[in-house]
Amino acid sequence: MKIAFVASEAFPFAKVGGLADVLGSLPQALKTLGVEPTIFLPWYWGIQGYYVGEVEFRFEGRLEQAGLGHAEHQGVRYVLVGLGDFARDRPYGYPDDFRRFVRFALATAELLRDFEIVHAHDWQAALLPLLRNLGWFKARTVYTIHNLAYQGVWGSQDFYAWTGLPGETYYGAGLEHHGTINLMKAGIVNADAVTTVSPRYAWEITTPEGGEGLDGVLRAHQHKLRGILNGLDTQYWNPATDPYLPYPYHADDLSGKGQNRRALLAQFALEDRPTLGVVSRFAHQKGIDLIAEAMDGLMALGVNLVVLGSGEPQLERTFTWMAQHLPGRLAYVQGYNEALAHHIYAGSDGFLMPSRFEPCGLAQLIAMRYGTPPIVRAVGGLLDTVRHWETGFMFDSADAGGVLHGVREFLKHPDREAVIRQAMQQDFSWDRPAAAYLELYRSLLGH
């Protein structure tokens, strides 16, 4: 079965968040099940690939060429699709992001003729199911929503000049949403199957509270919507073999975890207290502001924090300022740092994740695998993966009081080592989810 995955991130080539982890491990898991996966990824600056030629496509009313590169990760082929003048060193954050990814989708669509399934991820690839319905290629299409909050919205008809698509697709193919172009909506409407990354989130997005304005559309397409929980690359995320860790460890012998903890505390000159880790994008979704609001209370409870992350500048400034004023108790490192992330997962006593919403969440899975009980808000994939008091801790309210309640639960548990062991024994591999995707692909192909 030949499957094309199309997405804007894939580890280790380009990573902002969990989308990259999925595109760097689900195809590999499917390959062991006999599938032939190819991943199509924008060729951002700095990604090493072998130039293999180019593809011609129409953009802005003329024929254009996109350079093509090949790269490989764990035996799976990645095709890098050149972005021309739209290449940048990071995936997002530019004023022309919408146009960049429309161009990426149009170029990629020319490469999909030999595939039986095209599996598009998030708004950056959401145009593909519509292009299939216009006859550009023949594959069955799956569209996965990793985050409904980012929809690929564009307020003007320039879209039609860029793509050359027939004007009737505005209303006729689900592109229009409240007077704007909405690629997420078009993905949902046009795909043969729509999935999201946890069963709970699959339900939440059909409600007005979780639907980000698209709950009505999702309810209308509920018959083809389902949640499949993400897995982890359990070889990469393995505390027994992780090359980033000074002291490897195992559920049966946690002494290395204690040594990593001491090293982490020493690195940031923290007092010897229960220490909570945070590794996160600084976005409204993640409730990082709730941690800031709860900071006085957290200090009063006697915990330390080690925080790694970047995103909203105001939050970065707040944490920089707070860390300066709380030496020995709060460490903050701004930026993306793979090595430090591993240290924090391994060396912390608990992992704090107060998300307002969470489609799946991989950070809490990694934390559990590293024996660091997550303290999470009871929402989305967090609710589907953490068991309160058994493998982690949960709280309900999205405010400072909620965060403090969760941390109090963590502190009062009488046998934290049992929680650590139970967390480490969970199976968060791709075995089950990959089999679920395969079953979905098969059903779409009528097998």
Site residues (vs ligand ADP, CB under 6 A)? 17-19, 21, 279-281, 308-310, 336-338, 341, 360-363, 366
Contact indicator for 206, 218 with CB cutoff of 8 Å: yes
Question: 147 — alpha (psi -120 to 50), left (phi > 0) or beta?
Answer: beta
Applying the rule CB under 6 A, the residues between 193 and 212 that interact with ligand GLC are 197
What type of residue sits at position 179? Answer: G
Cβ proximity to ligand GLC, 18 vs 373, nearer residue: 18
Q: Is 18 in the site for ligand GLC (CB under 6 A)?
A: yes
Task: Select the residue interacting with ligand GLC from 7, 19, 270, 375 (CB under 6 A).
Answer: 19
Cβ proximity to ligand ADP, 133 vs 318, nearer residue: 318
Q: Please state, in angstroms and rounded to a whole number, the distance separating the CA atoms of residues 374 and 369.
A: 10
Min CB(331)–ligand GLC separation in Å:
25
Min CB(192)–ligand GLC separation in Å:
20
Task: Select the residue interacting with ligand GLC from 361, 371, 402, 433 (CB under 6 A).
Answer: 361
DSSP secondary structure string for all residues of 310-351: EE-HHHHHHHHHHHHHSTTTEEEEES--HHHHHHHHHH-SEE
> What are the contacts of 443-447 at 24+ separation with CB within 8 A?
444/117, 444/140, 444/142, 444/192, 444/193, 445/1, 445/116, 445/117, 445/140
How much is the CA Rg of the chain, to the nearest whole Å? Answer: 22
Binding-residue total with ligand GLC (CB under 6 A): 14
Applying the rule CB under 6 A, the residues between 273 and 312 that interact with ligand GLC are none
Q: Is 17 in the site for ligand GLC (CB under 6 A)?
A: yes
Q: Please state, in angstroms and rounded to a whole number, the distance separating the CA atoms of residues 80 and 8.
A: 10
Nearest to 345 by CA among 418, 254, 257, 404: 257
Min CB(10)–ligand GLC separation in Å:
12
Among the listed ranges 13-21, 130-138, 244-252, 332-340, the one in contact with ligand GLC (CB under 6 A) is 13-21
Q: Which residue of the chain is nearest ligand GLC when measured via CB?
A: 18
Beta pairing partners, 10: 14
Run of H or E residues at 49: none
Min CB(121)–ligand GLC separation in Å:
8
Cβ proximity to ligand GLC, 163 vs 196, nearer residue: 196
Question: 152 — alpha (psi -120 to 50), left (phi > 0) or beta?
Answer: left
Q: Please state, in angstroms and rounded to a whole number, the distance separating the CA atoms of residues 279 and 363.
A: 7
If contact means CB under 5 to 8 A according to the sort of partner, which of ligand GLC, ligand ADP, none does residue 74 touch?
A: none
Min CB(286)–ligand ADP separation in Å:
7
What type of residue sits at position 5? Answer: F
Cβ proximity to ligand GLC, 76 vs 270, nearer residue: 76
Applying the rule CB under 6 A, the residues between 37 and 96 that interact with ligand GLC are none
If contact means CB under 5 to 8 A according to the sort of partner, which of ligand ADP, ligand GLC, none does residue 197 touch?
A: ligand GLC
If contact means CB under 5 to 8 A according to the sort of partner, which of ligand ADP, ligand GLC, none does residue 429 touch?
A: none
Applying the rule CB under 6 A, the residues between 144 and 163 that interact with ligand GLC are 146-147
Cβ proximity to ligand ADP, 229 vs 308, nearer residue: 308
Angle separating helix axes 255-267 and 338-347, nearest 10 degrees:
120
Token pair of 229 as six digits: 């929980």
Q: Is 103 in the site for ligand GLC (CB under 6 A)?
A: no
Among the listed ranges 32-40, 261-269, 311-319, 358-366, the one in contact with ligand GLC (CB under 6 A) is 358-366
If contact means CB under 5 to 8 A according to the sort of partner, which of ligand ADP, ligand GLC, none does residue 22 touch?
A: ligand GLC
**Integer angstrom CA distances of residue 363 from 81, 95, 175, 367, 428:** 29, 29, 33, 6, 12
Min CB(363)–ligand ADP separation in Å:
4
Q: Is 187 in the site for ligand GLC (CB under 6 A)?
A: no
Angle subtended at Cα 247 by Cα 246 and Cα 251, rounded to the nearest 5 degrees: 145
Binding site for ligand GLC (CB under 6 A): 17-19, 22, 146-147, 197, 230, 358-362, 381
